[in-house]
Structure 1
Amino acid sequence: MSDTASPMTGTARIVLDESSSGPAEARVGDHVEVRLKAQFGTGFSWALSGSPPPALAPTAETIEPVEAPQPPEGGFETQVFSFDAVAPGEARLDFVYRRPWPVSYKHVRAPETQG
């Protein structure tokens, strides 16, 4: 994100998704939305990697279901991260797609029963 030479503040809504490539420009006052597909039934979701940059203030994180008469079970939904551009400067947003629980599992042996 970079501030433009114009002294006016922005009020635009800038939407980024998986098809977006390269940098996007926003003015102070603009709303930036990052939309990423997620399959929550697998336990995976998107998370911001690290802290948000000072130029962007997080405002919301929402989930939008698939718009279909009968959404498929285990299908994809859209995870939406919203930010307001609050200061001039460059900002980089990095997201990771992961499960929120640890990846190492301990083997647990079930107790034996007699019947």
Structure 2
Amino acid sequence: MRVITLEADGAAADVAPGERLELRLPENAGTGYQWVLDGPEPPLRVVEETLHPVADRAGGTGEHRFVLHADAPGETTLVARHARPWAPESELRRFRLTVRVR
């Protein structure tokens, strides 16, 4: 499984059909800000979403992880927004990754 981090913002990734990507984004759940995916559009689909907090540190920064499966050839732009879910205008950051499945 290929791991993608915040440093890949604005980049492109080539994957094969059937391959999985794991998007790992830093998140501090105590602030109310969360990473939310817009979509994704085919050929990608989310197969798992988890939050991994820092051990032994209440309110510490953790990682929001999205595991995506590349179903078939195609291209899409994966977009994640870091915002408070109840207040979309609170967006702090946006992450974009072009994914080409071939």
**Identity among equivalent pairs (%):** 34
- Equivalent in 4, 22, 26 of residue 33 of structure 1: 22
Unaligned runs of 5+ in 2: 90-102
Out of 27, 35, 46, which is 2:35 matched to?
46
Q: Match of 2:15, SS?
A: coil
Q: What secondary structure sits across from 2:66 in the alignment?
A: strand
Q: CA deviation at 1:25?
A: 1.0
Normalization by structure 2: what TM-score? 0.78
Taking structure 1 as the reference length, what is the TM-score of the superposition?
0.70
Residue range with higher mean Cα deviation, 32-41 or 20-29: 20-29
Deviating 4+ runs (over 2 angstroms)? none
Q: Distance in 2 between matches of 1:55 and 1:102?
A: 29
Structure number with larger C-alpha Rg:
1
Q: Relative contact order: is structure 1 or structure 2 higher (C-alpha 8 Å, sep ≥ 6)?
A: 2
Q: 1:103 to 1:97 in 2, by over 3 A?
A: closer
Q: Per residue, is there more helix in 1 or in 2?
A: 2
RMSD value, Cα: 1.7
Deviation at 1:74, TM superposition (A): 2.1
- Secondary structure class of the residue paired with 2:23: strand
Q: What does 1:1-115 align with in structure 2 at a 5 Å threshold? A: 13-21=1-9, 22-49=11-38, 51-67=39-55, 70-71=56-57, 73-102=58-87
**CA spacing shift, 1:64–1:54, aligned 2, 3 Å:** same
SS in 2 for 1:92: strand
C-alpha distance in 2 between matches for 1:58 and 1:103: 21
Give the Cα separation in 1 of the matches to 2:18 and 2:6. 24
Distance 1:39 1:32 in 2: 22
Q: How many aligned residue pairs are there?
A: 88
Contact preservation (8 Å) 2:53, 2:60: no
